[in-house]
Amino acid sequence: MKPALKLTIPSDRMERLHYVKRIFPDARGDDLKGEWAGGRSNALAKLNNVDAVAYGRNRNFLNGSVTHLSPYLRYGCLTLNETFAAIKGKFGLTAENLLMQLAWRDYWRQVWFTRGNAIYSEMEPPKVALGYARLTDAVRQGETGLPCMDAFIGDLLGTGYVHNHARMWLASYIVHHLKIDWREAADWFEAHLLDGDIASNHLSWQWVASTFSSKPYYFNKENLARYTGENYCADCTAVCPFDASYETLQARLFTQPASADAKRYPLKPLPMNAASMHKAVAVYVHDEMLSPNNSVLNQPFPKIFVFDPQLHGDWPLNRLQFVMDCLSEMMHVEVWVGDTYDVLLQRNVGELITQATPNARVKQALTPFLTKWQPVDKLVDAEMSDKRLQRFSRYWDKAAPLLLGT
Ligand SMILES: Cc1cc2nc3c(=O)[nH]c(=O)nc-3n(C[C@H](O)[C@H](O)[C@H](O)COP(=O)(O)OP(=O)(O)OC[C@H]3O[C@@H](n4cnc5c(N)ncnc54)[C@H](O)[C@@H]3O)c2cc1C
């Protein structure tokens, strides 16, 4: 491992983008596209532009009025609570549809907090037979021969943003038509997303697969053609695997009996470091708390963010650039690249204050330090260990009256 390096982030944006490339010469993928510049000021501008009424009408269309808020929520530029309150304050109950989508994010996160690394494995036995084939190069490179799926993969590899409906179609195609192992596909997908988030991603793949839902998600050509405005279907010459009724697709896709067991995917243990003997206190800034407004930063101690290969080593270039944009607004945060443990020892740190996270990798990186975890925003205090809350609809039955006052 190279020695830790303290960074000086250029204030000029173009210079900053190039700087990230120099610091991370091996990062894969394209530069961050202009529309996606990171940071709280850009997040607030996006929030200000939200049209929740149009969203309610057309969010399922690929050209619908979706918000593009996901990376800003993922890295903590905006909290879920302030976003929810701002949208509810501006639009009232006409924003119900969008407010419910924000609650999906809350729900998946609360499941991750409660179930931890279990979300990497099948949460329940699948309701239909799943295949466990390896992810193919054709999928990885967007060369499946289906213009729609290849375009969605092109979005993923090019910008890191894929519309929610396209994520569902693509995941369903990969899991139920190609019979690929959802877990390998979910890892691959998450690693390319700008908003890559273990809870929203892996649990959505499980929802599609039927290992965290009561039935598999699949779709037909009519559905895809309608919500894409015929964009891909009009000139498509491929043999369309989706061109059938739901009954025919069901009979075609799910011929084998479902397994009675949930498949487990053991995680590789990470190396452990010895406890720090130092005394200094610091605020550890992780990648879910990238806002100058984060209240944990009010503590009168040095604030330290580390680009650590153990945590961020497989991140694409655009994600690293997005995070560097965010950090450029956080004046008093020291930014390092290297091993978290080495950096904190170099700064004589023995105690840390940070924001709670369900991310086991972050928790493990901080094990050698006495760490105070500050509570993080959630929309509602749901009793997630209650088995009945293993479905979003039941969580929403409880949450909606509290959140919407209905
Ligand atoms: C297979 C698959 C993988 C996904 N992976 C991720 C991921 O890694 N990171 C991620 O943030 N979202 C993920 N999602 C959820 C959703 O697709 C994205 O949050 C959404 O498309 C982001 O675009 P937007 O901000 O324009 O969303 P909008 O439609 O404008 O929604 C506003 C916000 O609500 C939240 N939201 C909306 N739909 C969902 C949902 N189904 N689940 C959770 N939160 C939701 C997001 O925070 C989003 O920013 C995934 C969905 C699927 C089907």
In this predicted structure, what is the pLDDT of residue 338?
Answer: 97
Report angle CA 365, 371, 375 to the nearest 5 degrees.
105
Q: Is beta strand 370-374 parallel, antiparallel or unpaired with respect to 303-307?
A: unpaired
Q: Are 293 and 322 in contact, with CB atoms under 8 Å apart? A: no
Cα–Cα nearest to 255, from 123, 122, 131, 125:
131
> Position 299: which residue type?
Q
- The token duo for 359 is 């991310």
**Rounded average pLDDT over 29-45:** 97
CA 148 to chain centre: 23
Report CA(383)–ligand 1 centroid distance (Å): 23
Report CA(55)–ligand 1 centroid distance (Å): 14
Using most ligand atoms within 8 A of CB, pick from 101, 110, 189, 208 the residue to mutate for ligand 1.
Answer: 101
Rounded CA gap, 17 and 317, in Å? 9
Q: 269 pLDDT band (50/70/90 cuts)?
A: confident
Rounded CA gap, 227 and 102, in Å? 21
CB count within 10 Å of CB 353 equals 18
Residue 138 has pLDDT above 90, yes or no: yes
Using most ligand atoms within 8 A of CB, pick from 105, 182, 197 the residue to mutate for ligand 1.
Answer: 105
In this predicted structure, what is the pLDDT of residue 86?
Answer: 98
Report CA(63)–ligand 1 centroid distance (Å): 15
Report CA(191)–ligand 1 centroid distance (Å): 15
Q: 388 pLDDT band (50/70/90 cuts)?
A: confident
Residue 2 has pLDDT above 90, yes or no: no
Report CA(70)–ligand 1 centroid distance (Å): 6
Domains observed in the chain: 1-31+268-375 (3.40.50), 34-118+380-404 (1.25.40), 137-253 (1.10.579.10)
**Rounded average pLDDT over 200-223:** 98
In this predicted structure, what is the pLDDT of residue 177?
Answer: 98
Cα–Cα nearest to 22, from 295, 31, 123:
31
Q: Give the chain's mean pLDDT.
A: 96
Q: Is 161 exposed, middle or buried (0-12, 13-18, 19+ CB in 10 A)?
A: buried
Closest ligand 1 atom to 71 CA: 11
Minimal-distance CA residue to ligand 1 atom 35: 102
Report CA(68)–ligand 1 centroid distance (Å): 9
Ligand 1 pocket, residues with Cβ under 6 angstroms: 59, 66-70, 73-74, 101-102, 104-105, 108, 163-164, 167-168, 171, 190, 193, 195-197, 200-201, 204-205
In this predicted structure, what is the pLDDT of residue 1?
Answer: 66
Residue 270 has pLDDT above 90, yes or no: no
Closest ligand 1 atom to 83 CA: 33
User: How many residues are listed for the chain in this entry?
Assistant: 406
Report CA(205)–ligand 1 centroid distance (Å): 12
54-102 residue pLDDT tens: 999 999 999 999 999 999 999 999 999 999 999 999 999 999 999 999 9
CA 385 to chain centre: 23
Closest ligand 1 atom to 102 CA: 34
Report CA(113)–ligand 1 centroid distance (Å): 18
